[in-house]
Amino acid sequence: MAAQKAVGARGLVVGLDISLAMLRRAAAGGVARLVVGIVPGLPFRDRRFDGVAASLVLSHVERYAAALRDMVRILKPGGRLGVSAAAKSSHRVDVAYRAWEATAESFVGREALREAATRVVPWEAWLTDPVHIEAALANAGLEGIEVMQRDYRVTMLAEGYLSMLDLFACGRFVRQQLGSEQWPTFRKSVAEKVAAHGIKEIEYTSRYHIGVGTRRR
């Protein structure tokens, strides 16, 4: 794991998530110390860590400012905080995504789908602006702030891509609304629409902002 490699054999890496499934994945990746928790409300003392990393976290919390202050709280003076957030990405306008979205809207309704996304990731759209990220980090008490953009090109089979969409906020909502009886029908309909376009493999670019800052001494 990158974090453990960065701190070395004598360093301590602690993984935290509210999801047991995500913690199991972290354990499989070599993270030995795992904690179930949320932010704000981190179960750690003040000024305990040299670094804190929050990957695609801020978009999901109800109060992003309070979450950032809590992360800064557990940093030692001079410690570093890094956060990432999705930027505007091209893969949401491809044919396969449009097929998934159109089918989902036909099953649960357009407004219901949009409301679900807003409820689960209330700050996702706001965080696509790097100026907002920089201001949020500064207001949390950080200095020396940098906000960078990174693009990651991904190629995957169409079925794998659709399975990934199922795991996103809207996908989980649709599955919950449809239940075990209607969900297979929905997935079959999406797969047939994608296949009708002759799509077997999908290439897209995921674009992210990465913000880094230092706690004031």
185-201 in b/e form (b: 16+ CB < 10 A) is ebbebbbebbeeeebee
pLDDT of residue 136: 98
> Of the candidates 173, 187, 206, 198, which has an alpha carbon nearest to the alpha carbon of residue 92?
206
Q: What is the pLDDT of residue 89?
A: 64
Q: Pick the residue with more confidence: 67 or 93? A: 67
Share of the chain above pLDDT 90, in %: 69
pLDDT confidence bin for 74, thresholds 50/70/90: very high
| CB 30 within 8 Å of CB 4 | yes
- At residue 196, the pLDDT reads 94
Instruction: Give the pLDDT confidence score for residue 90 in this predicted structure.
Output: 46
Does residue 27 form part of some domain? no
* The model's pTM: 0.84
Residue 10: inside a domain, yes or no?
no
- List the helix and strand counts (H, then E) for the chain: 8, 6
**Residue 112 within a domain:** yes
Answer with the residue of higher pLDDT: 70 or 202. 70
Question: 55 lies in a domain?
Answer: yes
Residue 89 sits in a domain whose CATH number is: 3.40.50.150
149, part of any domain: yes
How many structural domains does the chain have?
A: 1
Instruction: Look at residue 132 and tell me if it is in a domain.
Output: yes
Instruction: Please report whether residue 20 resides in a domain.
Output: no
For residue 41, the SS3 value is coil
Residue ranges of alpha helices (H) inside 74-109 are 95-108
User: Once rounded to an integer, what is the mean pLDDT over residues 76-81?
Assistant: 97
pLDDT single digits (tens) 95-135: 888 999 999 999 999 999 999 888 889 999 999 999 999 99
pLDDT at position 205: 83
Q: Span 182-194, mean pLDDT?
A: 95
Cβ count near 16 (within 10 Å): 21
Query: Does residue 24 lie within any of the structural domains?
Result: no
Given this model, what pLDDT does residue 103 score? 96
Q: Which domain holds residue 205?
A: 38-215
